[in-house]
Structure 1
């Protein structure tokens, strides 16, 4: 019996551990969705007036660039919405020296087919949002919008 005692303890501990894990998983998988919905935080979206939006939006107009396809040229205008006036001031200082090269590199890797349609524009906007946000010294970039979009064949 003394030789069997360590084995019995090991088996009992493993069964207990398996039972505890099974109960936790059962509760998490079969929990009421309404209870889970009350546990999540609700995020309030701050709606800006037109004047407030103009105060925190910076524009880059008539950006021209060849695409990855050598036969195509794209002409774009962008509106960058930031989270405050200070962020906009800082962004305006770096728009020519840091933002323009980022847009250049992003467009250099894209073809006309990738940019066509709303999905192409959305992909470019999200790519620029992810690339530009880390370089802003103060504040953050909230939204990138394409305000003018022309693709022409050379």
Structure 2
């Protein structure tokens, strides 16, 4: 028995290490990809249907000249947005609240954003999807379908 004790301890230690490594790998594999963050953020939003140019104009609202600092106070951003809603009544409700309900959401979101997070098309898509989810929660009626960034200037101070 005394000769088997070191072998038993070694085998138990090896099994324990294998179980810990397997648990760590399973946890690592279950994390979502950062590249799919935009898709995960917009999973509840419907795809925009094909519309004519006149129909798009009827359900689209804009917010121009949003100027704010980013989370790095050395950077300022100036942005314009176009918001496509699901119907005309939604657009009318959106237009009533956009200056005092929607614009602060945009400014707060940008204030928490790093300059590196806004570089490239993927960074802007992630911002749009994040704003889409936040704004949809505060709309009195209807649903926001799409957000387009129509102007983007980021400048270091």
For the criterion TM > 0.5, the same-fold answer is: yes
Query: What is the TM-score normalised by the length of structure 2?
Result: 0.69
Q: In the alignment, which of 51, 71, 90 is matched to residue 68 of structure 1? A: 71
Q: In the alignment, which of 72, 96, 99 is matched to residue 96 of structure 1? A: 99
Please name the residue that 2:86 is paired with: 83
Helix, strand or coil at the partner of 1:94: helix
Structure number with bigger Rg: 1
Helix, strand or coil at the partner of 2:71: coil
How far residue 111 of structure 1 moved from its aligned partner, in angstroms, is 1.0
User: CA separation of 1:51/1:109 partners in 2, compared to 1, >3 Å: closer, same or farther?
Assistant: same
Alpha carbons 2:48, 2:146 under 8 Å: kept: no
Deviations 1:43-72 (A, max 9, x none): 996310011000000000111010011110
Deviations 1:13-59 (A, max 9, x none): xxxxxxxxxxxxxxxxxxxxxxxxxxxxxx99631001100000000
How far residue 138 of structure 1 moved from its aligned partner, in angstroms, is 1.2
Please name the residue that 1:115 is paired with: 118
Please name the residue that 1:37 is paired with: none
Q: Which runs of 4+ in 1 moved over 4 A?
A: none
Q: Which blocks of at least 5 consecutive residues in structure 2 are unaligned?
A: 1-45
User: CA separation of 1:45/1:78 partners in 2, compared to 1, >3 Å: closer, same or farther?
Assistant: closer
**2:62 matched to 1:59?**
yes
User: CA separation of 1:125/1:45 partners in 2, compared to 1, >3 Å: closer, same or farther?
Assistant: closer
Q: In the alignment, which of 41, 49, 52 is matched to residue 46 of structure 1? A: 49
Alpha carbons 2:48, 2:145 under 8 Å: kept: no
Distance 1:150 1:144 in 2: 17
- Aligned pair count reads 112
**2:137 matched to 1:134?**
yes
